[in-house]
Amino acid sequence: MAVATSNMTHNLSQQALLAIYLPATRQRFKQEVNRLTSGAMAELLGPHADTPALTFFMSYLYAYHWLEHNVHLDYRARVLESFRGGRFGFLMDLLLSDTAEIFVQGYIHHWQTNPEGPVQRQELLHLLAAQHNDPQQLALYVLRRWHKFGLFTKPYLVEFKNVSRDERQRYDGMLGEADQARLELVDAIANTSPASANIWRYPKLGIIPAMGCPQTCRHCMFTWRPPKPKHEQPTLIYKLVDAHTDSVLFTGGDLTKQLPYFYDAIRQMRHIKNFAILLNGDFADTPQLTDEILQNMASAVKARPAGWAPARILLQISFDEFHQEVYVDKKGLLAERIPVAKIANIVAAYPRYAKQIQLALLHKQTSLNFSMDVLHKGVFARLTNELAQRGLQLQVLSAAPSARQKRNVLSGNTLAPVFKDASFILSQFPQAPILLTSSTIDGYGRGALLDECETIKEKDLLHEVLTQGPPPGESFDIDLMFWFNGWVTLFNAVHICLGDVYRDGIEMILARQRHDPLSHALQCFDRRLLEYYAEIHSDLEQKIKAATGPHHLFHSLTEDPLVRLHMTRRLIEVAGADRSPTATTA
């Protein structure tokens, strides 16, 4: 593999990055303020007598902490610069205060010393009167109310470390004492059931060579990287997976370093027709290196013997406002997380290999998805412009919305159509269509720390699942993921492990999956799992409130190995009771 030079052509100047960073950060800031002043802060304050008078004041106290939490000090003034006009321009100066106490005192002083003003002055005077017209007492009261929220109490890096710690603890519990006890219960069911004479087939299976990624995207659900397996047997994994499906997904964060395994799999797995791999695009340092990697993929497909199943690669590249985010690095300089120029390298090289590879860009939904702006603004516009500089014209062929409307928190929480899928081409290469699919971000890992306005949630689908059950076609994916370290887990819940395939063997793993009551309860979003969770933990309501959708909720309900064991026991007990003679007679 060629080595990229240190002065790579995709590195944009600080001025060019600033032209991306400032509008994006201003938009985030504006959306949060609008959300808070439009009802979110009033809801946070609760039904108190002074809530109407406090809402605006506390919204900007929130904005002060948001800026301190999210925007590097060197860039705060420039972010606020475009909001300085109008009667609330003074707030921009206050938002640059050294402390929250100074901000609060300055806000009170401003309306005290301005005899004429909007409704906010009347609100302040009302609050002041309730505190005996004592500005210091009012300031203390406001700060006490703020501290009760418990918001922005830890720096981002500390929150990130805590998320990684929690994830590491979940991995440490994999196949621990509780999981082993659970699997013994499942094995007891499997041992009393007739063995299947057929080879069990799956619509797809996954392979995880390793779990890791050098990036630190703000929405990432996998934030802790398990150690590299010491006794991996990739050839055995390929053989096992090849026998049970014709479609395989290689995943695990970013697999650039594991690409040789992917090439080997294509050359060894004779029955597989669809080889999918998820990469973040960071490998595409130069056009030459990009072409070399795509050529290696295509060559692996061409090398398959004539008698094997015809195969094609689905090359999935992460591409959205988070992977391509411009951020402030540790030196205080702007940086592009995964440069758009790298994605352009992939798009430009792809048509030469379209017979062996289908390129798909995987996008995460934001507020832009509520209109076709998603294809004309943000990261997609940056890609279009980058390609245009190379003389390549991007042409959208089709676009389609999600099957379900979703809530737009920026428009009064109204239901609206959401852009989901598109296909496009480079006009010079009409024979090589490129796919783009946009999906929601669930509140896993760092995703739980995102601003309320940054993502689109599946709250309505969650409500439907909890009150009526899932709609047709909606399920929790329990197909299997095979790790190189031997673990076999579920697609939608990699913390639920059915054993070590090297130790237990494939037949036992597949028997467990067929008979595991928890896996099948998850698959259909069985609402009894909520009841069983509540028998162990007292925070069910908080879990439901925090859930971004049904998949997130049922994932979070099963993260504790003791809960998984308890759920399995309860499901077995209920199934046994249903089969008892008394139940049959009744």
By the 8 A CB rule, do 112 and 129 touch?
A: no
3-state secondary structure of 457: coil
Q: Provide the angle, in degrees to the nearest 10, between the axes of the packed helices 561-579 and 177-191.
A: 20
CA–CA distance, 309 with 485 (Å, rounded to integer): 28
CA–CA distance, 415 with 315 (Å, rounded to integer): 33
Element (H, E) at 566: helix 561-579
Mean pLDDT of the chain: 92
Say what the pTM is.
0.92
pLDDT at residue 582 above 50? no
Name 387's Cβ contacts closer than 8 Å, sequence gap at least 6: 344, 347, 348, 393, 394, 426
Residue 381: its pLDDT value, please? 96
CA–CA distance, 211 with 250 (Å, rounded to integer): 11
Q: What is the mean pLDDT of residues 492-515?
A: 95
pLDDT at residue 5 above 90? no
Element (H, E) at 189: helix 177-191
Task: Give the residue with greater pLDDT, 299 vs 174.
Answer: 299
CA–CA distance, 177 with 168 (Å, rounded to integer): 17
Of 554, 572, 571, which is closest to residue 496 (Cα–Cα)?
Answer: 554
Residue 198: its pLDDT value, please? 64
pLDDT at residue 583 above 80? no
Per-residue tokens: 461: 């689908």
By the 8 A CB rule, do 547 and 553 touch?
A: yes
Residue 9: its pLDDT value, please? 41
Residue 195: its pLDDT value, please? 61
Q: What is the mean pLDDT of residues 385-412?
A: 95
pLDDT at residue 69 above 50? yes
Per-position DSSP letters for 245-264, written without gaps between them: -SEEEE-SB--GGGHHHHHH
pLDDT at residue 443 above 90? no
Q: Which amino acid is at 5?
A: T
- Distances in Å between the alpha carbon of 445 and those of 162, 234, 522? 10, 28, 20
Residue 333: its pLDDT value, please? 97
CA–CA distance, 582 with 462 (Å, rounded to integer): 36
CA–CA distance, 94 with 112 (Å, rounded to integer): 15
CA–CA distance, 53 with 465 (Å, rounded to integer): 38
Q: Which amino acid is at 166?
A: D
Q: What is the mean pLDDT of residues 34-62?
A: 96
pLDDT band at 2 (very low <50, low <70, confident <90, very high): very low
Task: Give the residue with greater pLDDT, 468 vs 167.
Answer: 468
> Taking phi first (over 0 means left), then psi (-120 to 50 degrees means alpha), and beta for anything else, what does residue 253 get?
left
pLDDT at residue 249 above 80? yes
Task: Give the residue with greater pLDDT, 3 vs 175.
Answer: 175
Residue 222: its pLDDT value, please? 75
Strand-pairing partners, residue 493, are 490
Burial class (CB in 10 A: 0-12, 13-18, 19+), 476: buried
Per-residue tokens: 379: 């990261």
CA–CA distance, 30 with 192 (Å, rounded to integer): 61
Percent of the chain with pLDDT over 70: 95
Per-position DSSP letters for 461-525, written without gaps between them: HHHHHHHT-PPTT------EEEETTSEEEETTEEEEEEEEHHHH-HHHHHHHHHH-HHHHHHHTT
| Domains of the chain: residue spans and CATH | 14-149 (no CATH), 200-456 (3.80.30)
- DSSP letter at 455 equals S
Residue 87: its pLDDT value, please? 81
Residue 281: its pLDDT value, please? 96
CA–CA distance, 21 with 364 (Å, rounded to integer): 19
Q: Provide the angle, in degrees to the nearest 10, between the axes of the packed helices 550-557 and 459-467.
A: 60
pLDDT at residue 245 above 70? yes
Name 538's Cβ contacts closer than 8 Å, sequence gap at least 6: none
Residue 165: its pLDDT value, please? 86
Residue 150: its pLDDT value, please? 95
pLDDT at residue 584 above 70? no
Alpha carbon dihedral 496, 502, 505, 508, in 10-degree steps, equals -20
Per-position DSSP letters for 286-327, written without gaps between them: SHHHHHHHHHHHHHHHHTS-TTSPP-EEEEEEE-STTTT-EE
Q: What is the mean pLDDT of residues 524-538?
A: 98
Residue 1: its pLDDT value, please? 39
pLDDT band at 4 (very low <50, low <70, confident <90, very high): very low
Of 137, 109, 136, which is closest to residue 124 (Cα–Cα)?
Answer: 109
pLDDT band at 3 (very low <50, low <70, confident <90, very high): very low
Task: Give the residue with greater pLDDT, 102 vs 409.
Answer: 102
pLDDT at residue 580 above 60? no
The pLDDT tens digits of the residues spanning 282-337 come to 999 999 999 999 999 999 999 999 999 999 999 999 999 999 999 999 999 999 99
The pLDDT tens digits of the residues spanning 340-392 come to 999 999 999 999 999 999 999 999 999 999 999 999 999 999 999 999 999 99
pLDDT at residue 26 above 90? yes
Of 53, 31, 32, 51, which is closest to residue 43 (Cα–Cα)?
Answer: 51
Residue 196: its pLDDT value, please? 59
Residue 173: its pLDDT value, please? 80
pLDDT at residue 483 above 80? yes
Residue 520: its pLDDT value, please? 97
Strand-pairing partners, residue 396, are 424
Residue 166: its pLDDT value, please? 84
Q: How many CB atoms lie within 10 A of CB 137?
A: 13
